[in-house]
Structure 1
Amino acid sequence: MPSISNKGNKMPASPIRKLVPYAEAAKKRGVHVIHLNIGQPDIKTPKVALDAVRNHNIEVLEYSMTQGSETYRLKIADYYAKKDIIVDSEDIIVTTGGSEALSFAMGTIMDNDDEIIIPEPFYANYNGFATASGVIVKPIASTIENNFALPPISKFEELITPKTKAILICNPGNPTGYLYTEEEIKQLAALVKKHNLFLVADEVYREFTYEGRKHYSILQIKGLEEHAIVVDSVSKRYSMCGARIGCLISKNTEVIQTAMKFAQARLSPPTFAQIASEAALETPQEYFDDVIKEYVSRRDILISELKKIDGVNVAIPQGAFYCVAELPINDADQFAQCLLESFDLDGTTVMVAPAAGFYATPGLGKNQIRIAYVLEKEQLVKAVQILDKALKVYKSK
């Protein structure tokens, strides 16, 4: 029998999706599953985006330009300008989701066995992208005790070797919801300039910041132009996860020219999805004001309910729509599976994402889960009640 590649065997399973078979089995038994495992908002996609597709009179669905349509890229540049981020349309490559943008970035700036430093916990698929690219992740742990703030810069410096090519951050963070301060971003900028590294920032949750906090982009730092690479996406901003449209942005022309070769190899991003995404840029600010208000309300009730459970410690998200909760158990993977296999409360159970899969350091996050507060408040309250009851049953065994 032919053998599977080492790379294939090393490819990690998604902590977000690996429990899906257990969830499907629960549903077949008649159990209702509340999905807190995945960042799929129930917020409605802006009507202007859907109408753009419905009303289009395309007769031949052609390839788009490899780098994305010119009109869309011009409008993306206008969007950034309103955020005090000055880029040109030529600095932008439209991608098939933020995932492809991250893959392009790794392929562009790193070779096999090169190293990338990432504060953990981090978006689990970073491990997958790194494995696919032959890149070695060097994790640096942040902790729930200080809300997952940026670890000391000295800790980053200790990890830098001749093989180090970049530092990658997610801001605001998935899975933590932490929003890096301007000072933290500037500390990282100084570090990558000192050691001649790239700074890659996944900024897909830029719009979702709370209590008047402002997102600060690495593209706003003067003198960082040759080092800064930003990954973005429409998925969460406009509740358009199925569109699969993102972009890679850099003012480093060599980065963009090289990433274009990767983009050419996959031909072009999807046409209809670009039409929807371009129209979505016309979404009024009121839409975001309402969405942020809703997420704050959901966050507050979720955190309040979680804190009522004995032994649970939870970080307070400052952005995005995730939180990490530490549970009074030893194995969150096993607990999450038991929730789906053998527990329900009045015919309902909960699906969560075990947090160990968001770490690269073995053993970390074993008693933590990530919760995506993307559902209505009534569902969140019920979900926490189920978690409370399930923990009591699980710990009594």
Structure 2
Amino acid sequence: MPKISQKGAAMPQSPIRKLVPFAEKAYKQGKTVYHLNIGQPDIKTPEIALDAVRNNSIETLAYSRSEGSDEYRSKIANYYSKHDINVTKENIIVTTGGSEALLFAFGSIMDVDDEVIIPEPFYANYNGFSTASGVNIVPVISKIEDNFALPAIEEFEKLITPKTKAILICNPGNPTGYLYTKEEIKKLAEIVIKHDLFLISDEVYREFAYDGVEHYSIMQEENLKDHAIMIDSVSKRYSMCGARIGCLVSRNEEVLFTVLKFAQARLSPPTLAQIASEAALETPQSYFDEVKTEYVARRDVLIAELEKIDGVKVAKPKGAFYCIVELPIKNSDAFAQWLLEDFDINGETIMVAPAAGFYSTPGVGLNQIRIAYVLNKESLVQAVHILKEALKVYKD
């Protein structure tokens, strides 16, 4: 029998999606499953974006340009200008989600066995992207006891080797909700300039910065012209995960030329989704203000309920809509599966994301889960109640 590749064998499963078969089985048994496992907001997509597709008179659904349509990229640049990010459409390449933007970035700046430094825990798919690209992750450890605050920025510098090509951050962070300060971004800028590295910033949660703190982008650092690569997406900002439209932004002409070659190889991003995303840019600020207020309320309710459970630790996020929760168990993979297969309260159970998959360091995060607070407050309270009762009876 032919064998799959070593790369394929090494490709990690998604900690977010690998439990789907167990959830589907629970549905067939008539159970209600509260989904805390995935960042799929229940917030409605702006009507203006949906109308742009509903009311479109396209007769031939044609390819767009490989870098995305001129009209859409021009409007993205205008959106960024409102956030003190001065770029033109030529600095933007539209991608099929932020995931493709990350894959293009990895492929454009790193070779097999090169290294990228990433604070962990991090977005689980960074493990998959690095495996697909043959790149090695070098983690910077942060701990729940410190609310996942970064260690001294100088710790990044200690990890730099001749193989290091980039530092990758997610700001605000998935899965921790950590929000980088302006001072931290400036220190990272100093390091990448000193060592001639790239700084990649995944900023898909830019609109979700809480408690009066403003998001600060690496693209606001003018001295990072040749070093900064920003990743973005409409998925979370407009609750348009299914559109699969993202972008890569840089002022480095060589990076953009190289990324475009990858973009040409996959032909073009989806046309209808670009039309919806272009229309979404007309969404009024009031939409974001309301959404942010709702997420802050959900966060506060979730944290308050979790802190009532004996033996549970939780870090309070400053952005995005996730938190890491440490449980009095040994293995959250087994616990998450057990919740779906063997536990319910009046036909209701929960689905969580085991957190070990958000680390690259073996054996770390085994007793942690990630919770996405993308459900309404009442559902979150009920979900935490189910978690509390489950912990009373669960045996490792």
TM-score over 0.5 (shorter chain): yes
- The answer to whether the aligner puts 1:62 opposite 2:62 as a matched pair is yes
Q: Give the aligned residue type for 1:277.
A: S
- Residue 151 of structure 1 and its aligned partner are, at CA, apart by 2.2
2:225 equivalent in structure 1: 225
The answer (yes or no) to whether the contact 1:204–1:231 under 8 Å persists in 2 is yes
**SS of residue paired to 2:102:** helix
Q: Give the aligned residue type for 1:3.
A: K
- The answer to whether the aligner puts 1:186 opposite 2:198 as a matched pair is no
1:256 equivalent in structure 2: 256
Question: Matches of 2:259 and 2:151 in 1, distance apart?
Answer: 30
Question: Matches of 2:104 and 2:74 in 1, distance apart?
Answer: 21
The answer (yes or no) to whether the contact 1:150–1:184 under 8 Å persists in 2 is no
CA deviations 1:72-114 (Å, max 9, x no partner) are 0000000000000001110000000000000000000000110
- Residue 154 of structure 1 and its aligned partner are, at CA, apart by 2.6
1:323 equivalent in structure 2: 323
1:149 equivalent in structure 2: 149
Q: Give the aligned residue type for 2:30.
A: G
**TM-score under structure 2 length normalisation:** 0.99
Unaligned segments of structure 2, at least 5 residues: none
Question: Matches of 2:211 and 2:223 in 1, distance apart?
Answer: 30
Unaligned segments of structure 1, at least 5 residues: none
Question: Matches of 1:304 and 1:345 in 2, distance apart?
Answer: 21
Question: Matches of 1:337 and 1:152 in 2, distance apart?
Answer: 37
Question: Matches of 1:244 and 1:208 in 2, distance apart?
Answer: 19
1:158 equivalent in structure 2: 158
For the aligned residue pairs, the C-alpha RMSD in angstroms reads 0.7
- The answer to whether the aligner puts 1:136 opposite 2:132 as a matched pair is no
Question: Matches of 2:303 and 2:153 in 1, distance apart?
Answer: 30
**SS of residue paired to 1:130:** helix
Q: How many residues align?
A: 396
Alignment of 1:11-22 (within 5 A): 11-22=11-22
Question: Matches of 2:147 and 2:190 in 1, distance apart?
Answer: 23
Q: Give the aligned residue type for 2:128.
A: G
**SS of residue paired to 1:324:** strand
CA deviations 1:338-371 (Å, max 9, x no partner) are 1011000110000000000000000111111000
Question: Matches of 1:79 and 1:66 in 2, distance apart?
Answer: 21
Q: Give the aligned residue type for 1:345.
A: I
Q: Give the aligned residue type for 1:193.
A: I
Q: Give the aligned residue type for 1:43.
A: I
**TM-score under structure 1 length normalisation:** 0.99
Question: Matches of 2:238 and 2:112 in 1, distance apart?
Answer: 35
Q: Give the aligned residue type for 2:350.
A: V
Question: Matches of 1:118 and 1:240 in 2, distance apart?
Answer: 27
* Larger deviation, residues 188-197 vs 144-153: 144-153
1:215 equivalent in structure 2: 215
Q: Give the aligned residue type for 2:248.
A: L
The answer (yes or no) to whether the contact 1:119–1:151 under 8 Å persists in 2 is no
The answer (yes or no) to whether the contact 1:229–1:250 under 8 Å persists in 2 is yes
Alignment of 1:105-120 (within 5 A): 105-120=105-120
Question: Matches of 1:342 and 1:367 in 2, distance apart?
Answer: 19
CA deviations 1:270-324 (Å, max 9, x no partner) are 0000000000000000000100010011000000000000011100011000011
Question: Matches of 1:329 and 1:105 in 2, distance apart?
Answer: 38
Alignment of 1:41-60 (within 5 A): 41-60=41-60
Question: Matches of 1:148 and 1:80 in 2, distance apart?
Answer: 28
Question: Matches of 2:143 and 2:225 in 1, distance apart?
Answer: 30
CA deviations 1:111-145 (Å, max 9, x no partner) are 01100000000000000011101111111111111
- The answer to whether the aligner puts 1:367 opposite 2:367 as a matched pair is yes
Q: Give the aligned residue type for 2:268.
A: S
**SS of residue paired to 2:231:** strand
Question: Matches of 2:362 and 2:252 in 1, distance apart?
Answer: 35
Question: Matches of 2:5 and 2:295 in 1, distance apart?
Answer: 42
